[in-house]
Amino acid sequence: MRILQIGDSNIASTRLTVAMKQLDCAVDVIPTVEGAKEALRVARYDLLIADFDAAIGAAGLLTLIKAIRATRPDVAIVACGSRNALDLIVSALGAGADDFVLRPIDGDELRIRISALLARRPAREAVVLECGPLQLDMVSRQVLLAGNVVDLTPRERSVLQVLLRHRGHVVAKEDIAARVFSMDEEVGSTAIETYVHRLRKKTEHPRITIRTMRGVGYMLDEV
């Protein structure tokens, strides 16, 4: 899952970023509304966090939320801020934000809110993604294979999530990287190959396969 966070590079904003990364998210932190518009133009995001404690200015954030809601119904929007910004958060909900989170950030609450919110999107995603005996619970982030817990790293879960979302269809390496890595991360040419190799070993089962489509990408499917 990839998230765009509009906010300052301060302690409060960093804590929010850390909390979201613990949800297996790739997070891009952009400090300006114009920068956020450009990021939305060139990358695909599941969620936008509008931080109303930031020095960006509420007017610009509210205008951006209205524009996104009018043109990108697939992007979920969460307003964030302290109780001092509560009036602005209410305005954000009126402008089209889907939910809000108040500081101090509680990691468990954030995970539940985001998972529930993404499951309610127009392009609805199941709370549990499945391919045969393989399951990924989007709320608990637990992975099960034939009822047994599979121990995956956060990055491995993120790659698996992309493959499960598109099960039965080929996903290009570039598309996987775009959903898993943030803008400030160095992505080597073999990084996705490494994660897919690990997934194959950890999710080996006679009823599922992760196929390599040479020169194209990967496909998760039932056998």
In tens, the pLDDT along 177-214 reads 888 888 878 776 688 999 999 999 999 999 999 999 98
| DSSP letter for each residue of 63-85 | HHHHHHHHH-TTSEEEEEE-GGG
- Among 61, 53, 50, 55, which Cα is nearest to 85's? 53
CATH of residue 85: 3.40.50.2300
pLDDT at 126: 65
Q: Domain count of the chain?
A: 2
Residue 18 CB coordination number (10 Å)? 12
Judge whether 75 and 46 are in contact, CB under 8 Å. Answer: yes
**Ranges of H-type helices in the chain:** 11-21, 33-42, 58-71, 86-95, 107-119, 154-165, 173-180, 191-202
112 contacts 141 by C-beta, under 8 angstroms: no
Note whether 75 and 168 are same-domain residues.
no
Which pLDDT score, from 0 to 100, does residue 180 have? 87
How many whole angstroms separate alpha carbon 117 and alpha carbon 212? 33
pTM above 0.85, yes or no: no
106 and 159 belong to one structural domain: no
Q: Which residue segment(s) compose the domain that 162 sits in? A: 128-222
Phi, psi dihedrals of residue 144, rounded to the nearest 5° = -120, 140
| Residues 89 and 178 both lie in one domain | no
In angstroms, how far apart are the furthest CA atoms of the chain? 55
How far is Cα 174 from Cα 172, in angstroms, rounded to an integer?
5
Q: How confident is the model at residue 121 (pLDDT cuts 50, 70, 90)?
A: low
The percent of residues above 90 in pLDDT, for the chain, comes to 51
